[in-house]
């Protein structure tokens, strides 16, 4: 009896031993520091990296994953996605998707696309709008609830833009329909209200479209957005190509310029000085040919493609902080969206950027922009165990990322042996 009582006491007083996972990694790449470490053991407990080193003892009972023939690095991030959006065909009117599809349907597409990206190595996505009535906020909530496996998502809610959003030539009797997709905000007071509206409904980043209309956002309008968003601890991303709208955004101290296809050297220099990120969305020519002019929003592909490469080369040489973002909004037959996202790597190569720097733009730089650098984006003790592995060295050829065959998200294996689904 005494023995039994002692055993019961032990049962209730002994600390619960958390399951430990041990990864035997052939090579660990930490792009943030440029370190390459051979034959490492990564110990993972409760979703986080508990320890990493070459001579770590593996606790008995640990789940052991053998990646000794693989290159392991931090989970990838894409800072410019539209997971719920698929433009049916190039040159379709931009408004056709939100007039023809329900928010519920788009939410399901958003979850489907998010899971597909996770399985190919993208463990964090920043979704910058075009999700109807906050569909991506609900996809994020459903994943956070544990109902579905999915990447970490930071979503923008509705895009804030001058009157009309990104629509073109809509007649007055159907004009209000763009309100399903955009918030009209003209003048600092309306911009503040729009930022607060998005924060209320769950936005983790504020997205402004600044120069898609005949009228552009002013310095005062940008300042209002930055002040409101930063007060709530979230960053401001601005869709802008060049010109006075880019000048105003940079001067106001927004956090990232999205696209910036025609930024001048002077604008890039000012971005570097102010620590503003460029999320460069470098469309490959083959994608531009499908997107077309996106209903008149973009220049012709033959004009735009070389400009994108030139601007990326200049930004990199000047030391602007670069973050990988793709902006894929079309489907190619027989290809996944992640396949298409990896096509962007070819543009970065054409711009003369080394694999190490590309990898940094896809991990730690992105984490800095998303304000999650203390939680994710590096292979380091105390950070989330968001890891990918592949059989070839991405520092020799960045295209190795296409062969990612192991994905771990918050310590759970989502691809490779031991996957949870």
> Closer CB to Zn ion, residue 260 or residue 355?
260
- Pick the piece of the chain touching Zn ion (CB under 5 A) from 16-24, 241-249, 303-311, 321-329: 321-329
Whole-angstrom distance, CA of residue 206 vs CA of residue 230: 10
CA atoms within 13 A of residue 264's CA, in its CB half-sphere = 10
SS3 163: coil
Q: How far is the CB of 54 from Zn ion (least distance, A)?
A: 43
- The answer to whether 325 touches 280, Cβ cutoff 8 Å, is yes
Whole-angstrom distance, CA of residue 242 vs CA of residue 234: 24
Q: How far is the CB of 80 from Zn ion (least distance, A)?
A: 6
- Pick the piece of the chain touching Zn ion (CB under 5 A) from 6-14, 289-297, 327-335, 409-417: 327-335
- Pick the piece of the chain touching Zn ion (CB under 5 A) from 83-91, 201-209, 290-298, 322-330: 322-330
Q: How far is the CB of 63 from Zn ion (least distance, A)?
A: 39
- The answer to whether 306 touches 288, Cβ cutoff 8 Å, is no
> Closer CB to Zn ion, residue 165 or residue 355?
165
> Closer CB to Zn ion, residue 299 or residue 391?
299
- Within 10 A of 167 (CB to CB), how many other CB atoms are there? 22
- Pick the piece of the chain touching Zn ion (CB under 5 A) from 103-111, 319-327, 375-383, 413-421: 319-327
Q: How far is the CB of 319 from Zn ion (least distance, A)?
A: 25
Q: How far is the CB of 207 from Zn ion (least distance, A)?
A: 8
> Closer CB to Zn ion, residue 42 or residue 330?
330
**Structure-block tokens of residue 366:** 């992105």
Beta bridge partners, 37, equal 28
Cβ-in-10-Å burial (0-12, 13-18, 19+) of 202 comes to middle
Helix axes 265-274, 243-252, angle to 10 degrees: 10
| Interface with Zn ion: number of residues (CB under 5 A) | 1
- The answer to whether 164 touches 136, Cβ cutoff 8 Å, is no
Q: How far is the CB of 82 from Zn ion (least distance, A)?
A: 6
Closest CA to 261 of 307, 298, 294, 313: 307
Whole-angstrom distance, CA of residue 144 vs CA of residue 201: 16
- The answer to whether 134 touches 158, Cβ cutoff 8 Å, is yes
> Closer CB to Zn ion, residue 327 or residue 368?
327
Q: How far is the CB of 281 from Zn ion (least distance, A)?
A: 7
CA dihedral 152, 281, 211, 251 (to 10 degrees): 80
> Closer CB to Zn ion, residue 138 or residue 327?
327
In sequence order, which residues have a C-beta less than 8 Å from that of residue 113 and are 6 or more positions away? Answer: 81, 83, 84, 337
Write the interaction track for Zn ion spanning residues 278-317; mark x where CB under 5 A is met and - where it is not. ----------------------------------------
Closest CA to 259 of 273, 247, 246: 246
Q: How far is the CB of 267 from Zn ion (least distance, A)?
A: 20
> Closer CB to Zn ion, residue 156 or residue 379?
156
- The answer to whether 138 touches 104, Cβ cutoff 8 Å, is no
Q: How far is the CB of 160 from Zn ion (least distance, A)?
A: 14
- Pick the piece of the chain touching Zn ion (CB under 5 A) from 35-43, 162-170, 186-194, 326-334: 326-334
Q: How far is the CB of 64 from Zn ion (least distance, A)?
A: 42
- Pick the piece of the chain touching Zn ion (CB under 5 A) from 35-43, 50-58, 313-321, 325-333: 325-333
Interacting residues with Zn ion between 97 and 156 (CB under 5 A)? none
The residue of the chain with the least Cβ separation from Zn ion equals 327
Closest CA to 112 of 295, 265, 400, 331: 331
> Closer CB to Zn ion, residue 327 or residue 410?
327
Q: How far is the CB of 94 from Zn ion (least distance, A)?
A: 11
> Closer CB to Zn ion, residue 262 or residue 399?
262
> Closer CB to Zn ion, residue 120 or residue 280?
280
Whole-angstrom distance, CA of residue 322 vs CA of residue 397: 19
**Rule CB under 5 A: is residue 327 a binding residue for Zn ion?**
yes
> Closer CB to Zn ion, residue 228 or residue 327?
327
Cβ-in-10-Å burial (0-12, 13-18, 19+) of 336 comes to middle
Applying CB under 5 A, the residues found at the interface with Zn ion are 327
């Amino acid at each position: 009896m005494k023995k039994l009582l002692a055993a019961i006491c032990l049962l209730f007083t002994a600390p619960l031993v958390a399951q430990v996972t041990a990864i035997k990694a052939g090579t660990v790449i930490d792009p943030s520091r440029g370190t390459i470490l051979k034959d490492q053991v990564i110990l993972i407990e409760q979703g986080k990296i508990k320890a990493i080193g070459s001579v770590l003892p593996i606790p008995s009972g640990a789940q052991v994953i053998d990646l000794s023939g693989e290159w392991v690095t931090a989970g990838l991030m894409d800072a410019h996605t539209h997971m719920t959006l698929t433009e049916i065909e190039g040159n379709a009117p931009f408004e056709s998707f939100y007039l023809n599809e329900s928010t519920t349907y788009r939410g399901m597409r958003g979850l489907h696309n998010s899971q597909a990206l996770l399985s190919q190595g993208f463990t964090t996505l920043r979704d910058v709008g075009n999700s109807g009535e906050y569909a991506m906020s609900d996809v994020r909530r459903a994943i956070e609830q544990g109902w579905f496996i999915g990447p970490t998502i930071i979503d923008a809610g509705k895009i804030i833009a001058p009157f009309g959003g990104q629509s073109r030539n809509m007649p007055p009797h159907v004009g209000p329909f763009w309100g399903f997709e955009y918030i009209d905000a003209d003048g600092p007071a309306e911009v503040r209200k729009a930022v607060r509206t998005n924060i209320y409904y769950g936005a983790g980043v504020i997205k402004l479209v600044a120069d898609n209309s005949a009228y552009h956002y002013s310095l005062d309008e940008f300042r209002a957005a930055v002040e409101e968003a930063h007060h709530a601890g979230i960053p401001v991303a601005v869709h802008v190509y060049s010109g006075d709208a880019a000048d105003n955004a940079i001067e106001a101290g927004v956090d990232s310029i999205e696209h910036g296809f025609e930024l001048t050297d002077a604008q890039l220099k000012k971005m570097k000085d102010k620590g503003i990120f460029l999320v460069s969305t470098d469309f490959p020519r083959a994608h531009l040919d499908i997107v077309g002019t996106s209903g008149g929003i973009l220049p012709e592909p033959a004009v735009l493609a070389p400009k994108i490469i030139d601007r990326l080369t200049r930004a990199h040489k000047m030391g602007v902080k670069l973050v990988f973002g793709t902006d894929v909004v079309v489907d190619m037959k027989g290809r996944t969206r992640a396949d298409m996202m990896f096509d962007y790597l070819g543009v970065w190569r054409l711009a003369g950027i080394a694999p190490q720097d590309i990898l940094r733009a896809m991990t730690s730089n992105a984490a800095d922009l998303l304000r999650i650098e203390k939680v994710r984006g590096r292979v380091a003790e105390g950070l989330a165990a968001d890891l990918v592995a592949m059989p070839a060295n991405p520092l020799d050829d960045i295209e190795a990322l296409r062969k990612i065959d192991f994905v771990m998200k918050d310590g759970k294996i989502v691809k490779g042996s031991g996957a949870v689904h």
